[in-house]
């Protein structure tokens, strides 16, 4: 308390405002979010797509040259290749963008786990404030059912138990007690501390806030989530290697054909008149470039993207949401997933599944804390009014909200 210059009576409103300016709001901060435009433009960074874009530019130049030399040539005929390749590139970008834009919500899911409100003691009085306004030095009031707004050291604990599954993965509530611990004790063993985004399941207590926002243990996890570097998938690596080899091949073919055309102009036909020579040079260049463009399989990126999109849709039906479309190939080949259970495969929300009353086993359906489900006895619907007194006793014998 001396270090944070506070007391059991908490901070004054004036001091709390000063600390809010000093430490910032108690919330998870998101790095500069990738805009929709950036996600769309990222679809054009693929080497294969770049080759196709170059092919589009060259096709436009060839079309322009054809119309210049033969004015009777129709617009569609002259620019057919450019329109076709350009359309494929844009279609490829739209499909990739749609899939990735819908999945850019990693931090939003974590923000939903933080508390919206918090009870603190200020100037000796208990007040309800926005959780984002909690500052180091505040005294948190914790009761069963509360989601804890910040990291803190316990000042008081009356049979307090906290579910720390969001941090440790363990669904069993941890009994908390006031006391001192050695430095560098793992989070799961810090019995004298409470942490942001965890929630009290039993008892009550008070805690001195020591860290808020991104300085909390939960905030550190949020920061690491945003720092994850993406690795190339095997499919993308293979396509990039193929694109590089194809690019080199196309350039070599273009040069060889151009050299052969020059040899024919200068040696075979022995053209020396400058105007005619330049015309033949341009024709030779356009011919070599046209052949090079025709060697590019412009439909490949679209075929790959559509195939991956179909794979992603199939995986989504099985509750596997893919953030990057290129990951569909890798995830689709997975046979075994090693995963933490609590908070990942399950919600960490303990609910009643069976009730034994009047020599009957009553099954309770539903998922998590949602007020949906029904009572069944031997698979048949059961009227809960028959056990209304038991349900009322169960509700009144705990202090959950």
- Catalytic residue set: 340
- The DSSP code sequence of 292-333 is HHHTS-THHHHHHHHHHHHHHHHHHHTT---SSTTHHHHHHT
DSSP states of 188-246 as a string?
GG-TTEE-TT-EEEEEEEEEEEEE-GGGSHHHHHHHHHHHPPP---HHHHHHHHHHHHH
Give the integer Cα–Cα distance in Å for 394 and 35: 49
3-state class (DSSP) for residue 65: helix
Separation between Cα atoms, residue 337 and residue 242, nearest integer Å:
30
Q: Are strands 354-357 and 360-364 parallel, antiparallel or unpaired?
A: antiparallel
Among residues 306, 307, 301, 241, which one has the least CA distance to residue 56? 301
Q: Quick one: tokens of 356?
A: 């034994």
């Amino acid at each position: 308390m001396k270090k944070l210059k506070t007391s059991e009576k908490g901070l004054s409103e004036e001091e709390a405002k000063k600390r809010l300016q000093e430490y910032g709001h108690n919330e998870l901060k998101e790095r500069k979010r990738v805009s929709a435009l950036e996600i769309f433009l990222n679809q054009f960074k693929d080497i294969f797509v770049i080759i196709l874009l170059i092919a589009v530019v060259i096709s436009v130049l060839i079309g322009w040259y054809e119309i210049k030399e033969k004015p009777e040539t129709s617009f569609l005929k002259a620019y057919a290749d450019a329109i076709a390749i350009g359309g494929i590139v844009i279609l490829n970008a739209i499909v990739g963008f749609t899939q990735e834009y819908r999945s850019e919500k990693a931090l939003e899911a974590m923000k939903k786990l933080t508390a919206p409100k918090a009870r603190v003691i200020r100037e000796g009085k208990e007040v309800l404030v926005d959780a984002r306004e909690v500052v180091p030095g505040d005294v948190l009031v914790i009761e069963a059912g509360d989601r804890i707004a910040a990291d803190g050291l316990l000042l008081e604990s009356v049979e307090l138990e906290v579910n720390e599954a969001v941090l440790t993965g363990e669904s069993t509530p941890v009994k908390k007690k006031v006391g001192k611990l050695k430095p560098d004790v793992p989070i799961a063993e810090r019995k004298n501390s409470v942490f942001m985004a965890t929630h009290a399941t039993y008892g009550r207590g008070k805690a001195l806030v020591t860290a808020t926002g991104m300085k909390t243990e939960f905030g550190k996890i949020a920061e690491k989530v945003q720092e994850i570097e993406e690795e190339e998938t095997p499919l993308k690596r293979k396509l990039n290697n193929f694109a590089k080899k194809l690019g080199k091949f196309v350039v070599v073919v273009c040069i060889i054909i151009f050299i052969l055309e020059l040899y024919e102009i200068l040696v075979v036909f022995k053209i020396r008149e400058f105007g005619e020579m330049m015309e033949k040079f341009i024709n030779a260049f356009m011919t070599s470039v046209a052949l090079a463009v025709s060697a590019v399989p412009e439909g490949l990126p679209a075929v790959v993207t559509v195939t991956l999109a179909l794979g992603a849709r199939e995986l989504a039906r099985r509750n596997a949401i893919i953030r990057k479309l290129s990951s569909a190939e890798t995830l689709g080949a997975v046979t075994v997933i090693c995963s933490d259970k609590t908070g990942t495969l399950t919600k960490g929300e303990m609910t009643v599944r069976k009730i034994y009353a009047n020599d009957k086993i009553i099954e309770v359906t539903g998922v998590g804390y949602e007020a949906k489900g029904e009572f069944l006895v031997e698979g048949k619907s059961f009227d809960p009014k028959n056990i209304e007194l038991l349900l009322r006793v169960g509700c009144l014998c705990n202090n959950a909200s």
